[in-house]
A = this chain, B = another copy of it.
Amino acid sequence: MAVHEHSTAHMDCDNCPIRHRAVCARCESDELDALNAIKYYRTYDVGQTIIWSGDHMDFVASVVEGIATLSQTMEDGRTQMVGLLLPSDFVGRPGRDHAPYDVTATTQVTMCCFRKKAFEEMMLRTPHIGQRLLEMTLDELDAAREWMLLLGRKTAREKIASLLAIMARRDASLKPQGAAGQVVFDLPLTREAMADYLGLTLETVSRQISALRKSGVIQLEGKRHVVVPDIDRLLNETGDDADGGFFG
Protein backbone atom coordinates (compact mmCIF):
# COMPACT_ATOMS: atom_id res chain seq x y z
CA MET A 1 0.00 0.00 0.00
CA ALA A 2 2.77 2.37 0.91
CA VAL A 3 4.21 1.87 -2.56
CA HIS A 4 0.89 2.58 -4.22
CA GLU A 5 0.27 5.75 -2.24
CA HIS A 6 3.74 6.80 -3.11
CA SER A 7 3.32 6.60 -6.83
CA THR A 8 -0.05 8.34 -6.75
CA ALA A 9 1.26 11.20 -4.72
CA HIS A 10 4.14 11.40 -7.11
CA MET A 11 1.84 12.20 -10.01
CA ASP A 12 0.10 15.23 -8.62
CA CYS A 13 3.17 17.28 -7.77
CA ASP A 14 5.83 16.24 -10.22
CA ASN A 15 7.87 19.36 -9.91
CA CYS A 16 7.98 19.75 -6.16
CA PRO A 17 11.65 19.39 -5.24
CA ILE A 18 11.07 18.97 -1.57
CA ARG A 19 9.12 15.80 -1.88
CA HIS A 20 10.19 14.66 -5.27
CA ARG A 21 13.92 14.95 -4.98
CA ALA A 22 14.74 14.94 -1.31
CA VAL A 23 12.14 12.56 0.00
CA CYS A 24 10.42 10.66 -2.75
CA ALA A 25 13.67 9.74 -4.37
CA ARG A 26 14.53 7.75 -1.33
CA CYS A 27 11.06 6.22 -1.14
CA GLU A 28 10.65 7.11 2.47
CA SER A 29 6.93 6.98 2.59
CA ASP A 30 6.48 8.05 6.18
CA GLU A 31 8.03 11.36 5.33
CA LEU A 32 5.98 11.53 2.20
CA ASP A 33 2.78 10.97 4.14
CA ALA A 34 3.79 13.63 6.62
CA LEU A 35 4.45 16.11 3.82
CA ASN A 36 1.21 15.23 2.09
CA ALA A 37 -0.63 15.99 5.29
CA ILE A 38 0.58 19.57 5.49
CA LYS A 39 0.50 20.62 1.86
CA TYR A 40 -2.08 22.32 -0.33
CA TYR A 41 -2.14 23.77 -3.83
CA ARG A 42 -2.93 27.25 -5.09
CA THR A 43 -3.17 28.67 -8.58
CA TYR A 44 -2.58 32.30 -9.56
CA ASP A 45 -3.50 34.18 -12.74
CA VAL A 46 -1.18 36.06 -15.05
CA GLY A 47 -0.05 39.28 -13.43
CA GLN A 48 -1.44 38.39 -10.03
CA THR A 49 0.65 39.25 -6.99
CA ILE A 50 1.27 36.09 -5.01
CA ILE A 51 2.94 37.77 -2.05
CA TRP A 52 3.44 41.45 -1.24
CA SER A 53 6.74 42.57 0.22
CA GLY A 54 6.30 42.92 3.97
CA ASP A 55 3.33 40.54 4.15
CA HIS A 56 3.11 38.04 6.91
CA MET A 57 3.98 34.64 5.43
CA ASP A 58 2.74 31.56 7.17
CA PHE A 59 3.71 29.17 4.39
CA VAL A 60 6.63 28.11 2.24
CA ALA A 61 6.01 26.85 -1.27
CA SER A 62 7.40 25.32 -4.38
CA VAL A 63 6.47 26.23 -7.93
CA VAL A 64 4.76 23.33 -9.66
CA GLU A 65 3.95 25.03 -12.93
CA GLY A 66 4.40 28.47 -14.48
CA ILE A 67 6.81 31.32 -13.90
CA ALA A 68 6.89 33.82 -11.07
CA THR A 69 9.24 36.69 -10.28
CA LEU A 70 10.71 38.14 -7.10
CA SER A 71 11.18 41.89 -7.19
CA GLN A 72 12.10 44.86 -5.08
CA THR A 73 10.68 48.34 -5.61
CA MET A 74 12.07 51.66 -4.38
CA GLU A 75 9.81 54.42 -3.04
CA ASP A 76 9.94 56.30 -6.34
CA GLY A 77 8.88 53.25 -8.31
CA ARG A 78 12.19 51.99 -9.68
CA THR A 79 11.99 48.21 -9.60
CA GLN A 80 14.56 45.49 -9.93
CA MET A 81 13.76 41.84 -10.41
CA VAL A 82 15.88 39.80 -7.99
CA GLY A 83 14.65 36.29 -8.67
CA LEU A 84 12.97 34.25 -11.38
CA LEU A 85 11.03 31.24 -10.11
CA LEU A 86 10.66 28.34 -12.47
CA PRO A 87 9.00 24.99 -11.82
CA SER A 88 10.71 23.21 -8.91
CA ASP A 89 11.98 26.45 -7.39
CA PHE A 90 11.32 27.12 -3.75
CA VAL A 91 9.98 30.32 -2.12
CA GLY A 92 9.90 31.34 1.48
CA ARG A 93 12.22 31.10 4.35
CA PRO A 94 11.90 28.87 7.34
CA GLY A 95 12.47 31.03 10.40
CA ARG A 96 11.38 34.36 8.93
CA ASP A 97 7.80 35.48 8.88
CA HIS A 98 7.65 38.54 6.71
CA ALA A 99 8.24 38.40 2.96
CA PRO A 100 11.21 40.51 1.84
CA TYR A 101 10.11 40.78 -1.82
CA ASP A 102 7.06 40.97 -4.03
CA VAL A 103 6.29 37.67 -5.73
CA THR A 104 4.29 38.01 -8.95
CA ALA A 105 2.88 35.45 -11.38
CA THR A 106 4.25 36.08 -14.87
CA THR A 107 2.25 33.24 -16.38
CA GLN A 108 -0.48 31.24 -14.71
CA VAL A 109 1.25 29.66 -11.71
CA THR A 110 0.49 26.66 -9.54
CA MET A 111 2.24 26.50 -6.20
CA CYS A 112 2.55 23.61 -3.80
CA CYS A 113 2.38 25.20 -0.36
CA PHE A 114 3.33 23.90 3.06
CA ARG A 115 2.27 25.50 6.31
CA LYS A 116 5.45 27.06 7.64
CA LYS A 117 5.20 25.87 11.23
CA ALA A 118 4.53 22.29 10.21
CA PHE A 119 7.25 22.47 7.56
CA GLU A 120 9.80 23.68 10.10
CA GLU A 121 8.95 20.82 12.45
CA MET A 122 9.22 18.46 9.52
CA MET A 123 12.69 19.83 8.76
CA LEU A 124 13.87 19.14 12.27
CA ARG A 125 12.75 15.54 12.02
CA THR A 126 13.98 14.99 8.48
CA PRO A 127 17.57 16.04 7.71
CA HIS A 128 17.14 15.28 3.98
CA ILE A 129 14.85 18.24 3.61
CA GLY A 130 17.22 20.71 5.20
CA GLN A 131 20.10 19.37 3.13
CA ARG A 132 18.12 19.63 -0.07
CA LEU A 133 17.09 23.15 0.83
CA LEU A 134 20.71 24.12 1.52
CA GLU A 135 21.75 22.76 -1.85
CA MET A 136 18.98 24.69 -3.60
CA THR A 137 19.79 27.89 -1.72
CA LEU A 138 23.47 27.64 -2.65
CA ASP A 139 22.46 27.23 -6.31
CA GLU A 140 20.30 30.32 -6.04
CA LEU A 141 23.17 32.23 -4.51
CA ASP A 142 25.43 31.24 -7.40
CA ALA A 143 22.75 32.38 -9.84
CA ALA A 144 22.36 35.68 -7.97
CA ARG A 145 26.10 36.29 -8.24
CA GLU A 146 26.16 35.57 -11.95
CA TRP A 147 23.28 38.02 -12.22
CA MET A 148 25.27 40.64 -10.27
CA LEU A 149 28.05 40.46 -12.87
CA LEU A 150 25.43 41.03 -15.55
CA LEU A 151 23.88 44.01 -13.75
CA GLY A 152 27.15 45.66 -12.81
CA ARG A 153 29.36 45.15 -15.82
CA LYS A 154 27.60 44.02 -18.99
CA THR A 155 26.43 46.28 -21.82
CA ALA A 156 22.78 46.41 -22.83
CA ARG A 157 23.45 44.11 -25.78
CA GLU A 158 25.29 41.59 -23.62
CA LYS A 159 22.51 41.72 -21.05
CA ILE A 160 19.85 40.89 -23.64
CA ALA A 161 21.98 38.14 -25.17
CA SER A 162 22.58 36.66 -21.72
CA LEU A 163 18.88 36.64 -20.92
CA LEU A 164 18.04 35.02 -24.26
CA ALA A 165 20.77 32.44 -23.63
CA ILE A 166 19.27 31.62 -20.23
CA MET A 167 15.83 31.17 -21.78
CA ALA A 168 17.26 29.17 -24.65
CA ARG A 169 19.18 26.94 -22.27
CA ARG A 170 16.12 26.28 -20.18
CA ASP A 171 13.99 25.35 -23.17
CA ALA A 172 16.74 23.40 -24.91
CA SER A 173 17.00 21.15 -21.87
CA LEU A 174 13.26 20.47 -21.99
CA LYS A 175 12.70 19.66 -25.64
CA PRO A 176 15.15 18.21 -28.13
CA GLN A 177 15.83 20.73 -30.89
CA GLY A 178 15.80 20.40 -34.66
CA ALA A 179 18.86 21.48 -36.63
CA ALA A 180 22.22 21.41 -34.86
CA GLY A 181 22.82 24.60 -32.94
CA GLN A 182 19.25 25.84 -33.51
CA VAL A 183 17.03 26.66 -30.55
CA VAL A 184 13.43 27.85 -30.59
CA PHE A 185 11.44 29.18 -27.68
CA ASP A 186 8.82 31.65 -26.45
CA LEU A 187 9.77 34.54 -24.22
CA PRO A 188 7.76 34.22 -21.03
CA LEU A 189 8.39 37.86 -20.09
CA THR A 190 7.12 41.20 -21.37
CA ARG A 191 9.69 43.78 -22.49
CA GLU A 192 9.11 45.57 -19.22
CA ALA A 193 9.75 42.44 -17.15
CA MET A 194 12.93 41.85 -19.16
CA ALA A 195 13.96 45.43 -18.41
CA ASP A 196 13.38 44.84 -14.70
CA TYR A 197 15.44 41.68 -14.90
CA LEU A 198 18.32 43.40 -16.65
CA GLY A 199 18.38 46.81 -15.00
CA LEU A 200 17.42 48.58 -18.27
CA THR A 201 14.45 50.53 -19.60
CA LEU A 202 11.90 48.76 -21.76
CA GLU A 203 12.84 50.96 -24.72
CA THR A 204 16.45 49.84 -24.53
CA VAL A 205 15.32 46.22 -24.35
CA SER A 206 13.22 46.69 -27.46
CA ARG A 207 16.02 48.41 -29.37
CA GLN A 208 18.60 45.78 -28.49
CA ILE A 209 16.29 42.95 -29.45
CA SER A 210 15.75 44.71 -32.78
CA ALA A 211 19.50 45.10 -33.15
CA LEU A 212 20.12 41.39 -32.53
CA ARG A 213 17.40 40.62 -35.05
CA LYS A 214 18.91 42.94 -37.64
CA SER A 215 22.34 41.41 -37.21
CA GLY A 216 20.86 37.94 -37.70
CA VAL A 217 21.69 36.52 -34.28
CA ILE A 218 18.00 35.85 -33.65
CA GLN A 219 14.78 35.81 -35.65
CA LEU A 220 11.42 36.87 -34.26
CA GLU A 221 7.98 35.52 -35.14
CA GLY A 222 5.52 37.87 -33.53
CA LYS A 223 6.79 39.61 -30.41
CA ARG A 224 7.53 36.62 -28.24
CA HIS A 225 8.52 33.65 -30.38
CA VAL A 226 12.28 33.48 -30.85
CA VAL A 227 14.36 31.40 -33.25
CA VAL A 228 18.08 31.21 -32.56
CA PRO A 229 19.62 29.80 -35.75
CA ASP A 230 23.10 29.38 -34.25
CA ILE A 231 23.36 29.22 -30.50
CA ASP A 232 27.12 29.85 -30.55
CA ARG A 233 26.60 33.21 -32.23
CA LEU A 234 24.23 34.16 -29.43
CA LEU A 235 26.67 32.97 -26.78
CA ASN A 236 29.40 35.08 -28.37
CA GLU A 237 27.24 38.13 -27.69
CA THR A 238 26.87 37.43 -23.98
CA GLY A 239 30.37 38.44 -22.92
CA ASP A 240 30.69 35.14 -21.02
CA ASP A 241 33.57 32.73 -21.42
CA ALA A 242 33.28 31.32 -24.91
CA ASP A 243 33.88 27.68 -24.08
CA GLY A 244 31.07 27.12 -21.62
CA GLY A 245 29.70 23.59 -21.83
CA PHE A 246 26.04 24.54 -21.57
CA PHE A 247 25.01 23.34 -24.97
CA GLY A 248 27.97 21.05 -25.51
The answer to whether A148 touches B82 (Cβ under 8 A) is: yes
Min C-beta distance of A120 to chain B, whole Å: 10
Min C-beta distance of A188 to chain B, whole Å: 20
User: Is the CB of A221 closer than 8 A to any CB of chain B?
Assistant: no
User: Is the CB of A72 closer than 8 A to any CB of chain B?
Assistant: yes
Q: Which residues of B contact A76 (CB under 8 A)?
A: 239
User: Is the CB of A78 closer than 8 A to any CB of chain B?
Assistant: yes
Given contacts A80-B152, A151-B152, A152-B151, contact A72 B145 (CB under 8 A): yes
Which residue of the partner chain B has the closest CB to A241?
A: B75
How many angstroms from the CA of A141 to the CA of B239 in the assembled complex?
A: 24
User: Is the CB of A7 closer than 8 A to any CB of chain B?
Assistant: no
User: Is the CB of A37 closer than 8 A to any CB of chain B?
Assistant: no
User: Is the CB of A144 closer than 8 A to any CB of chain B?
Assistant: yes
Q: Per a CB cutoff under 8 Å, which of B95, B130, B137, B151 touches A141?
A: B137
Q: Which residues of B contact A101 (CB under 8 A)?
A: 145
Q: Which residues of B contact A123 (CB under 8 A)?
A: 131
Number of copies: 2
How many angstroms from the CA of A96 to the CA of B138 in the assembled complex?
A: 10
Min C-beta distance of A204 to chain B, whole Å: 13
Min C-beta distance of A142 to chain B, whole Å: 6
Given contacts A93-B138, A138-B93, A140-B141, contact A82 B130 (CB under 8 A): no
The answer to whether B134 touches A130 (Cβ under 8 A) is: yes
How many angstroms from the CA of A241 to the CA of B147 in the assembled complex?
A: 24
Q: Which residues of B contact A148 (CB under 8 A)?
A: 72, 80, 82, 144, 147-148, 151
The answer to whether B149 touches A80 (Cβ under 8 A) is: yes
User: Is the CB of A187 closer than 8 A to any CB of chain B?
Assistant: no
The answer to whether A199 touches B141 (Cβ under 8 A) is: no
* Additional A-B contact list (10), CB under 8 Å, known A134-B137, A152-B198: A72-B148, A75-B239, A76-B239, A127-B130, A133-B134, A140-B141, A141-B141, A141-B144, A144-B144, A151-B152
Q: Name A residues whose Cβ lies closer than 8 Å to a Cβ of B.
A: 70, 72, 74-76, 78-80, 82-83, 93-96, 100-101, 123-124, 127, 130-131, 133-135, 137-138, 140-142, 144-149, 151-153, 198-199, 239-242
